[in-house]
Amino acid sequence: MRIRFLHTADIHLGKTYRTSPGEAARYEDFFRMLGGIVADAVRERVDFVLIGGDLFHTGQILPKTFARTIETLQLLKDNRIPCIAVEGNHDWIHRRDSISWMEALSQMGYIRLLRPSRTETGGYRFDPFDPETGMGGRIEIEGLNIYGLGYIGAQAGAHVARICEAVETRNNLLLFHVGVWTYSPVEIGNIKPEEALPLAECFDYVALGHGHKPYIIKTPDGRPYAFNPGSPERVNFGEERYDKGYYLVTVMDGRYSHESRPTTPRPMLGPGRLPPLRTGAGAAPPGAGGDLPPAARGDQEPPVARDPQRGRGNGQKEPRRDRAGGAVGADRRQERVQGERGRAGAALADDPRCGPQG
């Protein structure tokens, strides 16, 4: 039997660039990008779509963001294509209390939100997904068992053994919002390659999210097992040189083959300029951008990308990055603080009284 699915992550719906020219157009870019992926899923007649976390840019979303999300996902629902998702670190309103707007999307049938429960001893329990409650830890589609686990925090590597111990089936896939060190450009919420390796024994395909740069992890004998598509849209200016896209995956007789589907997000240019969208997934409809100023329509040659706001969004500055993608200066100190918070969150995750932390 052949199974086909799309794997994307880090959509960041609701991302804004306040005080920047073309703010409204950039806000719509993220919905347009997801809409292009949804249209591709319908066109390819895939069996399901995976979203590996960070569907939203922030947990406290605006009403219009929730409404536009429903509008964008409606085509999948109309075509009976399940959209399976986990929560990323950006999706939580309160991670300790396991609250996010993705719960509402799941209860309304727009996504199948996977979130495992915890045992009294701190282990994981992946209960079958319940459509009535919109909750569960795993779902079976065409004989493929899909397990889901959202963002854990800085100590995710210590949870791998517990994840594997909870797997009771064969022919498995894991949807997991986590990065892998040396591959992921994100400095927090990662696990080491050697910590991730046991997942290859339990899962035939590990669908990652979190890092906005695409990469693939292989076993020591060269078998690809973990795939990170990166974000399909450029979220920050540090991503200007990253390849952008998502994966179309085919499963035939237990063997996985993936095809990279590149997207063409709007180029990031200099101060006061909103460049036109290109063709491809997430492209603007005909005539879009016609009322923009000449520089925004691409009538001038684009300068070297510079961000006068340092990727400002939602009233806060994004971390400034060096060439390797790491935070520098005061921003690096801030990420160290976030790392300490992540370790504190991981300690809470080990406490069974805190409930599911995925």
Three-state DSSP at 109 gives: coil
Q: List, for residues 216-272, the tens digit of each pLDDT value.
A: 999 999 999 999 999 999 998 889 889 999 999 999 999 999 999 999 998 876 555
pLDDT, position 350: 43
Q: What's 2-268+308-354's CATH class?
A: alpha beta
E strand or H helix that includes residue 4: strand 2-8
Indicate the length of the chain as a whole number: 358
E strand spans, 69-168: 83-85, 92-94, 99-100, 112-113, 117-118, 124-125, 138-141, 144-149
The pLDDT of residue 296: 33
Residue 355 pLDDT: 39
Tens of pLDDT, residues 71-91: 999 999 999 999 999 999 998
Residue whose token pair is 């939602």: 314
How does pLDDT run across 139-165, given as a tens digit for each residue?
A: 999 999 999 999 998 889 999 999 999
What are 320-344's pLDDT values in tens digits?
A: 444 333 434 444 444 444 444 444 4
Q: Where exactly are the structural domains of the chain?
A: 2-268+308-354
pLDDT in tens, 266-302: 887 655 556 666 555 544 333 333 333 333 333 333 3
Evaluated on CA atoms 50, 76, 32, 106, the torsion sign reads negative
**Across the chain, what does the average pLDDT equal?**
81
Model pTM score: 0.77
d(CA 262, CA 242): 11
